[in-house]
Amino acid sequence: MRIDIKSHIRSVPDFPKPGILFYDISTLLADSAAWQATMDELAEIVCDWRPDVLAGIESRGFLVAAPLALRLRRGFFMVRKKGKLPGPTIPYEYALEYGTDTIEIQTDAVKPGARVVILDDLLATGGTMRAAADLIRKVGGTVAGAATILELTALGGRQKLDFPCASLAVYEG
């Protein structure tokens, strides 16, 4: 059943700072029927990319990727900020508008040649999504695609991606 995902998203003005309109998926998660329909739509999209494993970007991407991986009977791994994963990790430093940031995956997260689909709640500037893809490729994985619940097109994130990306709800402004 296709649903109007936007009707289940709460807009929070001036969060986390003045001038930002935050799209809160908590209200979507709280509605079991809407959340199930969201997972149904994502499963249909992601299946077409034939993934071996799903990657969730910290932290709301975990909420999307983990249940979807279970449903699709695929593995799941976390893409986290530096210092958040136990055991040996592989870091990837990437440029921000002002400075750099580092993400990591565990060393055994991606087998060479594995088809990976990246999931997150939101595609905005595309910086973290692109960094996750670059890290997956660095360790020998293939990025089959990416999917998000929401996309903010005004921030141009999709233009930074060189792989298929699907978003269930698009905000133009």
pLDDT at position 115 is 98
Q: Is the preceding peptide bond at 26 cis, omega within 30 degrees of 0?
A: no
Residue 60 to residue 43: CA distance in whole angstroms: 17
Closest CA to 145 of 117, 166, 125, 124: 117
| Structure tokens, 66 | 């983990």
pLDDT digits (tens, 9 = 90+) for 87-107: 999 999 999 878 899 999 999
Marked catalytic residue, from 44, 50, 74, 97: 97
Mean pLDDT of the chain: 96
pLDDT digits (tens, 9 = 90+) for 30-46: 999 999 999 999 999 99
Strand partners, 157: none
Given a cut of 80, whether residue 1 has pLDDT beyond it is: no
pLDDT at position 173 is 67
Mean pLDDT of 49-73: 98
pLDDT at position 2 is 84
* 97 flagged as catalytic: yes
* 60 flagged as catalytic: yes
Marked catalytic residue, from 41, 60, 104, 130: 60
